[in-house]
Structure 1
Amino acid sequence: MKWNRNFLGVLFGCLCFSCIRDEVPAGEDIVKPGDRLPDFSVVLNDGSVVSRKSLEGKVAVLVFFHTGCPDCQKELPVIQQLYEEYASSSDVCICAISREEGEEEVASYWQIHALTIPYSAQEDRSVYALFSTSGVPKVYVCGPDGRVVSIYSDNPIATYSELKEDVENARIFSSYLFAEQMVSLNLPTRNY
């Protein structure tokens, strides 16, 4: 009897706090491939500021996450690997932005999992809501012109090779060549 009550409590907790159980189906992005980044600004854990303006001329990989989300827990090591690949590149910016999760929780998770990706802990959805209505992880790869080249969500989560290919393509092609033009040339533009 006690075991059943504990099991039901855990099951209820999972359903209430699951990253996949948003009220709006995943995939309802406000920002889509080809769109310019919204006007946003976040302060990273190192004190630097990332905004649409600061990303001009750079390839950007923006990751929205919550450390309690199982898919985010799988995606963050992939993002870490990508970050390590491009950490010394001045033309690539990779950062993670939490969705409704404060500094203490994010910092603790980063320390436990030895993550070094710059992050911004956001206690609400105000920044996230500029990009999407539901679902984490959300990964946005943007070109130097500030246009979104590809978007990944939880089904399937982005692989290292997909993200690296997107970053490299965004580095190569000039600012006039954004998502719609990449499609016409059969170059990868993803919205998962």
Structure 2
Amino acid sequence: MRRILSFSAIICLVLCCSGCINEKLQGADLKVGDRLPDFSVKMNDGRVVTDEDLIGSVSCVVLFHTSCPDCQSTLPSIQRLYDEYAPETVRFALISREEGAEEIESYWTEKSYDMPYSAQESRKVYNKFASSRIPRVYISDKDGIIRYIYTDNPIPSYDELKSCLESLIR
């Protein structure tokens, strides 16, 4: 009986940890070389950001959920990059997947983040980018063409992301 309970607990833990990352539903699966999809999101600072707003500058679109462990590992690097490059050199759009503003604001406060974000309680915007997996980091050139994509495997390091941005800024 004890083995069954232990095995059941392990299975539940694995399913819970992977559930936030790899929930496959119908959606796009953008690739390097694709153009950013048409989207429009309202940011927590009141601005509306669209794909067209990102044209003319290198951009970094991040799709996340604050309860996802891999997102939690990625967001500190994004904050560092935001501090270094936004808003003049790189335009950032952080967009949640099925998470409301209250939860994000609480997490942002706890972590002392100041990056603007868009709370999306559905997958409508997310599905324009992907069908599964978070985090997702899309780095695009000044023409809105995706040049780099990172997911949770492997989680991108600060240095990797910085190198990608620098290669497009030059």
TM-score, structure 1 normalization: 0.78
Q: Give me the CA root mean square deviation.
A: 2.4
Q: What code does the residue aligned with 1:104 have?
A: E
C-alpha distance in 2 between matches for 1:164 and 1:41: 26
Cα separation, 2, equivalents of 1:78 and 1:162: 10
Counterpart in the other structure of 1:148: 146
1:57 and 1:91 in contact (8 A); partners too: no
Counterpart of 1:20 in structure 2: which amino acid?
A: I
Structure 1 residues 45-69: Cα deviation after superposition (integer angstroms, max 9, x where no partner): 1011111111110111010001110
What residue identity is the alignment partner of 2:73?
K
- In the TM superposition, residue 21 of structure 1 has moved relative to its aligned partner by 3.9
Q: Deviations over 1:15-34 (max 9, x none)?
A: 2473234246xxx9621111
> Bigger shift: 37-46 or 13-22?
13-22
Deviates more, 1:56-65 or 1:91-100: 91-100
Measure how far apart 1:11 and its partner are. 6.0
**Letter in structure 2 aligned against 1:41:** S
Contact 1:37 1:148 in 2 (8 A): yes
Would the alpha carbon gap of residues 56 and 21 (structure 1) be closer, same or farther in structure 2, given more than 3 Å must change? closer
Query: What is the identity, as a one-letter code, of the residue corresponding to 2:98?
Result: E
For the residues of structure 1 that align with 2:22 and 2:125, how far apart are their CA atoms? 20
- Indicate yes or no: 2:104 matched with 1:101: no
Q: For the structure 1 residues 113 and 14, does the alpha-carbon distance in structure 2 shift closer, same or farther, using more than 3 Å as the test?
A: farther
1:20 — aligned with what? 21
Asked if the contact 1:60–1:142 (Cα under 8 Å) also holds between the matched residues in 2, the reply is yes
- Post-superposition CA distance 1:83-133 (Å, at most 9, x none): 11113x423112310000011111111011111111000000000000000
User: Residue 12 of structure 1: SS of its match in structure 2?
Assistant: helix
Once residues 101 and 14 of structure 2 are traced to their aligned partners in structure 1, the CA distance between those partners, rounded to angstroms, is 22
Q: Distance in 1 between matches of 2:152 and 2:140?
A: 19
2:90 corresponding residue in structure 1 = 92
1:120 to 118, 121, 128: 118
Corresponding residue SS for 2:149? strand
Within 5 A, what are the aligned runs for 1:1-192? 12=12, 15-16=15-16, 18-23=19-24, 30-87=29-86, 89-172=87-170
5+ residue gaps in structure 2?
A: none
More helix by share: 2
State the number of aligned residues. Answer: 167
Q: Quick one: structure 1 residues 170 and 106, their matched pair in 2 at CA, closer, same or farther if it must change by over 3 Å? A: same
